[in-house]
Amino acid sequence: MKFQKASVLKGEVTIPGDKSISHRAVMFGSLAEGTTEVTNFLQGADCLSTIDAFRKMGVEIENTPEKILIHGRGLHGLKAPSSVLDMGNSGTTTRLISGILAGQTFESTLTGDASIQKRPMRRIMEPLSMMGAKIVSVNGNDCAPLCITGAPLHGIHYHSKVASAQVKSAVLLAGLYADGETSVTEPALSRNHTEIMLRCFGADVSAEDKTAKICPEPHLQGQKIHVPGDISSAAYFIAAGLIVPGAEILIKNVGINPTRDGILKVAKEMGGNITLLNENNDGEPTADLLVKHSHLHGITIEGSLIPALIDELPVINVMAACAEGTTIIRDAAELKVKESNRIDVMVRYLSAMGCDITGTDDGMVIVGGRPLHGTEVDSHSDHRIAMSFAIASLIAEGDTKIKGSDVVNISYPDFYKDFSRLTQ
């Protein structure tokens, strides 16, 4: 797909449902008793992989454009799948479902696409094995395919080396099946959607500082869930609004959970003009964001802020390329094990566009302010890379071509529709 510099960026955009919350709604609804109704569910390929996996384990799920209905089978009602469970491109499905499968009475095998088969699974295999799970990497490389044989589990107190909501959630979900209390302490707080939503379903979950705890509970109860817009999808238009001269856009229905709102903090610190409107604090907090073109300046992004903006770092790189001065991103080695190696890929193509960017072991250093020009970018089958370079194209002279641009289907199927509407 080909993109060009924007002469205008204005209008309103309503952001589709949050990917992390959509996955969890299907998973917890499947394990609950009764029906769970989910509105504003993200119909992206990753969340559809989650639906598919639970259907294969006997859960009836009705998927209509207005809502999805999950007819839960209870904590012990899943059936052994008759074939391998295909996780597609979804790391969240793979890691969270492993925690659930560890506590079943059957054996299952999980696999996924080429990217999933390269992503590290030792981080969940280790704590789940400590709980008594039998979980084997079929090719012996600590990646999927994984073969999981359900086993009696016991509670553990796990100190995770990485701040990862996927690891934390896998352990907490296995904790639903354990014989006592399970807790996870992380080096920095990662997104807490599992803790919030499991509690709504009736689980005995508590959280304090960087530790989340769960006690086994025999029943979860089906719920009504309205999924807020995904701040990780909003991030592309936040960045666009800040960097395109004269831009003014209203981004509606954005989830602003404090474990996810790092991009708002960073934008503010860089001098970005963003106003929060219509704030709503029921359950997962939301707001509309009014974003105006701003003169950004470079900052340092590090430490406990990183998990709150980990998926937004590629597009934050684009903001930094337009900012005056130097932006330093550190403590973000996790970028190397996402859908692609996002340090390498961002450095390669932003350099090709004329940006002064250097990769480091755990992030990047960007000296902003150089004019960008179009180039040919390969998305590396990574949705966040494709969307970040679509945004970079808005301020680049000449054509930017993105190979593999349709990968946005993973998290934001209507991205190009919204993008062209705002730039018309």
**b/e for 382-415, b at 16 or more Cβ within 10 A?**
bbbbbbbbbbbbbbbeeebebebbebbbbbbebb
Q: What is the DSSP letter of 139?
A: T
Q: What is the DSSP letter of 229?
A: B
Q: Of the ranges 9-17, 158-166, 215-223, 237-245, which one interacts with ligand S3P (CB under 6 A)?
A: 158-166
Q: Of the ranges 159-167, 175-183, 236-244, 402-410, which one interacts with ligand S3P (CB under 6 A)?
A: 159-167
Residue 301: phi and psi, rounded to 5, are -120, 120
Q: How far is CA 374 from CA 178, 348, 394, in A?
A: 54, 13, 9
CB 122 within 8 A of CB 166: no
CA dist 405 and 382 (Å) reads 9
Select from 22, 30, 40, 92 the one that contacts ligand S3P (CB under 6 A).
92
Q: How far is CA 109 from CA 66, 137, 141, 171, 343, in A?
A: 32, 10, 15, 18, 31
Q: Which CB, 33 or 195, lies closer to ligand S3P?
A: 195
Among the listed residues 301, 414, 277, 305, the one whose alpha carbon sits nearest the alpha carbon of residue 366: 301
From the candidates 261, 311, 382, 418, give the one annotated as an active-site residue. 311
Min separation Cβ 408 and ligand S3P, Å: 14
- For residue 136, count other CB atoms closer than 10 A to its CB: 14
Q: Of the ranges 67-75, 161-169, 295-303, 372-380, which one interacts with ligand S3P (CB under 6 A)?
A: 161-169
Could you give the string, one character per residue 171-210, with x where binding to ligand S3P holds by CB under 6 A and - elsewhere?
A: -------------------xx-------------------
Select from 310, 335, 392, 422 the one that contacts ligand S3P (CB under 6 A).
310
Could you give the string, one character per residue 384-423, with x where binding to ligand S3P holds by CB under 6 A and - elsewhere?
A: ----------------------------------------
- For residue 236, count other CB atoms closer than 10 A to its CB: 27
Neighbouring-strand partners of residue 275: 290
- By the rule CB under 6 A, 126 interacts with ligand S3P: no
Could you give the string, one character per residue 328-347, with x where binding to ligand S3P holds by CB under 6 A and - elsewhere?
A: ------x-------------
Could you give the string, one character per residue 51-90, with x where binding to ligand S3P holds by CB under 6 A and - elsewhere?
A: ----------------------------------------
414 is catalytic: no
Residue 366: phi and psi, rounded to 5, are -125, 125
- By the rule CB under 6 A, 164 interacts with ligand S3P: yes
Q: Please give the size of the binding site for ligand S3P, defined by CB under 6 A.
A: 11
Q: Of the ranges 53-61, 132-140, 160-168, 241-249, which one interacts with ligand S3P (CB under 6 A)?
A: 160-168
Residue 167: phi and psi, rounded to 5, are -65, -50
Q: Which residues are catalytic?
A: 311
Q: Which residues bind ligand S3P (CB under 6 A)?
A: 20, 92, 164-166, 169, 190-191, 310-311, 334
